[in-house]
Structure 1
């Protein structure tokens, strides 16, 4: 991170002064800065490529503005610089889980509020397509050694899409490989169930502090193995029940999908010498949690429960 001091005036008339460049990339162009206004309130300024600016402003944030309480929406805009202004949050969930030993009730509160954000998006036919732990923002206070949650928001909607009913995103390997659904690895079709699968992986991370689809360089065996192939094998091992796997391969993947053979070979590679390791049989989690996750990660996207249905699961009772 580098220090930088520049001033921009938003559509609201508020003057924002930047403090640090938090992230900067050239391809694709990306710049994220922390800033403050004259009253000392903190914000995030995010450069949006001009080709995406209008679509995100109108079709994504415009649809969410009135009803999304658990999605971080635009606070202000700087059109001539192609920038959106967002509220600053203290932490993202990825780091908070690593830094703190969160009590189970606090973890459930954060997860439920984040899931509410996904439900709000899905209610408006918006698919996030990049659900991961660091795209969940948390404002919290630490009083007398106890964490009090103020706000939880789903953030970073740059890859989100308005997907009307009976349509899907195709031809796009969406999201980070560690959180992707099987269909996202296969470049679609991606829809609301893809977000649900990814969020289930976030939930497992929240309780275990492990990203179960993270693949180290050592596991690649000097380049002999492909990272995505390892992830697909793990996904099928944990969640690929026979019937749903066959439905996914036969009904969900187009005949000419180049990843079809990868899934077929992986499926047929399990047997006595290479047994599956179903998540539903894990001894590391309680039965209610396993039931919820299994219903969110069915290999057949059509069988996954919705965000609203997941919110009603008994694992969230009392939250």
Structure 2
């Protein structure tokens, strides 16, 4: 039985305030005004318990980082569907990057805040699973001459789970495929290291600007049967080959797929990211990215190690 839908102008009552729905953003997400006429975001359950999970994750972590988009309230009336109230921010990194490519200082400013939020999650073994530009929310500062952003917060924790959960251990596909790690796409067990791969993919996107994604397939579209395979091929072309150590952590079936992939894309067909010219990506940025984008997740640095990297010290 489906939950009753909300309607424009409906008043919802939470623990702390009442909220009048002012605009439907997309299915299950509304803008609303509280009793002080402040704009907030109301997110309602779509029958998959994602909202309840996001509520629980935020209650656990938001007090530990100002770079996590916080839970403000929980709707009590009506009791169904389950709904939460979140902080509203003006935009996200996808829109900001499309509007105007981020400069180096902005990229580092954003990267530090994303990694600090991930570090908080990873300390407790939680995996965000969906790090991508549209889930990095921003407010713009009054003076945008040097730094456009006054706030940067990681959002959308509906699919955030511990790395010892059944979803992680069974290799359940999570997140948006073009931002996902090889292990997620190959449906093998995943850990906090999958967020590090997604962060690296995000960083590459911000450096190039616009709606760029290095792994977007050229011959397949989202929903096609071979979409995930084509993404893994792109990952392999730029950051492969898989090291021999991968045998230690994948099933025989997955190993067969990897060997087939390596056969399909011989060394002469590879386009290593290490060969990207400095005209496209600076040497410092390239070296930082190469540390992150490891095909064997065990070789990726943690969020905490990345925060200590010299890349953040150099202008």
Q: Same fold (TM over 0.5)?
A: yes
Pairwise mapping of residues 1-319 of structure 1 onto structure 2 (< 5 A)? 4-12=8-16, 14-24=17-27, 31-48=28-45, 49=47, 51-58=49-56, 60-79=57-76, 80-81=79-80, 82-143=82-143, 145-164=145-164, 168-209=168-209, 210-216=212-218, 219-220=219-220, 226-242=226-242, 244=243, 246-248=244-246, 250-257=247-254, 260-271=255-266, 274-283=268-277, 284-317=280-313
Do 1:129 and 1:175's aligned partners in 2 also have CA atoms closer than 8 Å?
yes
Provide the C-alpha distance between the structure 1 equivalents of 2:103 and 2:54, rounded to a whole number of angstroms.
36
Do 2:217 and 2:234's aligned partners in 1 also have CA atoms closer than 8 Å?
no
Offset, 1:123: 1.6
Higher mean Cα deviation, 155-164 or 140-149?
140-149
Provide the C-alpha distance between the structure 1 equivalents of 2:124 and 2:144, rounded to a whole number of angstroms.
40
Unpaired segments ≥5 residues, structure 2: 1-6
Report the 3-state secondary structure (helix = DSSP H, G, I; strand = E; otherwise coil) of the residue aligned with 1:43.
strand
Offset, 1:241: 3.4
Aligned residues: 300
TM-score by length of 2: 0.87
Do 1:18 and 1:36's aligned partners in 2 also have CA atoms closer than 8 Å?
yes
Check 1:159–1:38 CA distance in 2 against 1; reply closer, same or farther (3 A cut): same
Report the 3-state secondary structure (helix = DSSP H, G, I; strand = E; otherwise coil) of the residue aligned with 1:220.
coil
C-alpha RMSD over aligned residues: 2.6
Provide the C-alpha distance between the structure 2 equivalents of 1:220 and 1:169, rounded to a whole number of angstroms.
28
Do 1:232 and 1:263's aligned partners in 2 also have CA atoms closer than 8 Å?
no
Deviation string 1:131-178 (CA, Å, 9 cap, x unpaired) is 11111111112536554321111110000002359x944231111111
Do 2:237 and 2:270's aligned partners in 1 also have CA atoms closer than 8 Å?
yes
* 1:27 match: none
Report the 3-state secondary structure (helix = DSSP H, G, I; strand = E; otherwise coil) of the residue aligned with 1:290.
helix
TM-score by length of 1: 0.86
Structure of higher RCO (CA pairs closer than 8 Å, 6+ residues apart): 2
Provide the C-alpha distance between the structure 1 equivalents of 2:300 and 2:250, rounded to a whole number of angstroms.
17
Offset, 1:295: 1.5
Do 2:50 and 2:159's aligned partners in 1 also have CA atoms closer than 8 Å?
no
Offset, 1:10: 0.8
Check 1:114–1:269 CA distance in 2 against 1; reply closer, same or farther (3 A cut): same
Check 1:204–1:303 CA distance in 2 against 1; reply closer, same or farther (3 A cut): same
Do 2:54 and 2:159's aligned partners in 1 also have CA atoms closer than 8 Å?
no
Regions of 4+ moved over 6 Å:
none
Do 1:64 and 1:124's aligned partners in 2 also have CA atoms closer than 8 Å?
no
Unpaired segments ≥5 residues, structure 1: 25-30
